[in-house]
Amino acid sequence: MIKSIRTMALCLSFLLAIVSVPFAAAAATPLKVVLDGQQLTFDVQPQVISGSTMIPYSMLMQKIGASLSFDAKTQQLKVKRGKTTVELTIGSNQAILDGKTVKLDAKAVVKNGRTLVPLRFLGESFGLWVNWNAGTKTVSLETKRTITHAKGTTTLTSVPKRVVILFNGMVDVSLTLGVKPVGAVESWVQTPWYHYLRADMGGVKNLGSELQPNIEAIVALKPDLIIGAKTRHEKIYGQLSEIAPTLFAEQLFEWKVNMDMAAKAFNTEDKAAAFIGDWNKRVADFKSKIGNRANTEVSIVRFQEDSSARFYVTGFAGTILQELGLKRPKAQQVEGKVVVNLASQEQIPLMDGDIIFDITSSHGDGEEFKSQEEWQKNPLWSNLKGVKNGKYYQVNDITWNMSGGATAAKMMLDDLYFYFDL
């Protein structure tokens, strides 16, 4: 019996040894570094140290046309490419980038006679696009990137550092991605910047109206990227392109598409992915909690300064309601329309819904609110389901409509959690 148990134990140990081999091999899979589609080879393999990917710096720097020098006495490395200079000291977690001291996630070290430096820091310092694929353990570097947009394609030769933004939604998106523009068009209200963005807009040049940005001010900023919108700036695309590489959004309110375009240009795809990942989780949570109330018909209305009114078919808020699976009144399902204007108060029944969200706000003298008051005096207004059932809500037009950015979308979703009591 004892002999039999020992035999079984020996076999089990042998089996475990065999099974563990693939995992050990997988753990030893070397890191790959790809530059502009070509895998690089090193005499000392890249490796992860203190959570940072470290590589022998000399070969990569030569590949991207940088000059190198090393002071053996001070143990200082100096790398220069174009107008950018980086200085690192072996064993130090600080570096000097164009004369300014910055903190490193990992120290430069010597391994097998080669100096290893943090790849992401070095790459981003010289304007390279740096991306990490955990599945294949591959770092991809690009010295240029071609971005597809509403006017075709534009090739960037360096990650932009001086960005000009010409529509409100992209101002929000840029800040969400951690990129502060050097210049931007002003907000529609709460000028110069919406209150929810203002804390992050210090020092940004006001370029005037989204409808007519100040071209001379844009030139003076010497941007390396301009982002506009086809529906706003198509007539001046050629003019803008002569100033700097220019990208155009197809639609103002398609915040996810616009974020994807900006993230590719800014080298912030990881931040965009994290934001979208969190967004998708919250959308799924909203749908699971609302249950059969998803059949609730939601109406979005607005009163105009010219004594007219409108309801929204799609647009920024409309697309979010659609993603959440919320229904719209049949009368408001008008194909090919973003908004439907109502000239007569006799059309008030078209504004009805189980819930009515009113995004009326003022651009100036408050004429919109006078119009709102006039329409709501009409008995037809009091007969709307949403009004009779106490489900008429006035909400923030900035985050529900005017801004059109990623953080605004998140704030609108917060509001919907509140109004649906989830």
Neighbours of 308 (CB within 10 A): 16
User: For the chain, give me the number of helices (H) and strands (E)?
Assistant: 16, 25
Q: Does residue 27 register a pLDDT over 70?
A: no
* Residue range 377-396, pLDDT digits in tens: 999 999 999 999 999 999 99
Tokens 């990490």 belong to: 132
Please give the average per-residue pLDDT across 57-79, as a whole number. 85
CA 41 centroid distance within chain: 33
pLDDT band at 91 (very low <50, low <70, confident <90, very high): confident
For the chain, give the percent of residues with pLDDT over 70.
93
Q: Does residue 9 register a pLDDT over 80?
A: no
Question: Do residues 194 and 187 make contact, with C-beta atoms less than 8 angstroms apart?
Answer: yes
Q: Does residue 143 register a pLDDT over 90?
A: yes
pLDDT band at 28 (very low <50, low <70, confident <90, very high): low
pLDDT band at 364 (very low <50, low <70, confident <90, very high): low
Please give the average per-residue pLDDT across 279-286, as a whole number. 97
pLDDT band at 50 (very low <50, low <70, confident <90, very high): confident
The pair of three-digit structure tokens given for residue 155, joined into one six-digit string: 């090739």
Q: Residue 220 and residue 343: Cα distance in Å, rounded?
A: 44
Please give the average per-residue pLDDT across 344-369, as a whole number. 90
Neighbours of 88 (CB within 10 A): 25
Q: Side chain identity at 125, as an amino acid letter?
A: S
Q: Residue 422 and residue 411: Cα distance in Å, rounded?
A: 15
Q: Does residue 18 register a pLDDT over 50?
A: no
Question: Do residues 300 and 339 make contact, with C-beta atoms less than 8 angstroms apart?
Answer: no
Query: Mean pLDDT lowest for which of 42-56, 143-157, 239-253, 257-271?
Result: 42-56
Q: Residue 189 and residue 196: Cα distance in Å, rounded?
A: 12
The pair of three-digit structure tokens given for residue 78, joined into one six-digit string: 């100096």
CB crowding 89-123: b at 16 or more within 10 Å, else e: bbeeeebebeeeeeebebbbeeeeebbbbbbbbbb
Q: Residue 74 and residue 90: Cα distance in Å, rounded?
A: 9
* Residue range 197-250, pLDDT digits in tens: 999 999 999 999 999 999 999 999 999 999 999 999 999 999 999 999 999 999
- Strands 205-206 and 225-229 turn out to be unpaired
Average pLDDT taken over every residue of the chain: 89
Q: Residue 20 and residue 133: Cα distance in Å, rounded?
A: 24
Q: Residue 174 and residue 182: Cα distance in Å, rounded?
A: 11
- Count CA atoms closer than 13 A to 40's CA, side-chain side: 25
Query: Mean pLDDT lowest for which of 71-75, 227-231, 363-367?
Result: 363-367
Q: Does residue 125 register a pLDDT over 60?
A: yes
Q: Which of 246, 194, 188 is nearest to 215 (CA)?
A: 246
Q: Does residue 11 register a pLDDT over 80?
A: no
Please give the average per-residue pLDDT across 260-289, as a whole number. 96
pLDDT: which is higher, 309 or 41:
309
* Residue range 369-382, pLDDT digits in tens: 999 999 999 999 99
pLDDT band at 5 (very low <50, low <70, confident <90, very high): very low
- Strands 47-49 and 52-56 turn out to be antiparallel
Q: What is the pLDDT of residue 132?
A: 85
Q: Residue 268 and residue 135: Cα distance in Å, rounded?
A: 19
pLDDT band at 115 (very low <50, low <70, confident <90, very high): confident
Q: Which residues are CB-neighbours of 160 under 8 A, at least 6 positions away?
A: 223, 224, 225, 245, 265, 266
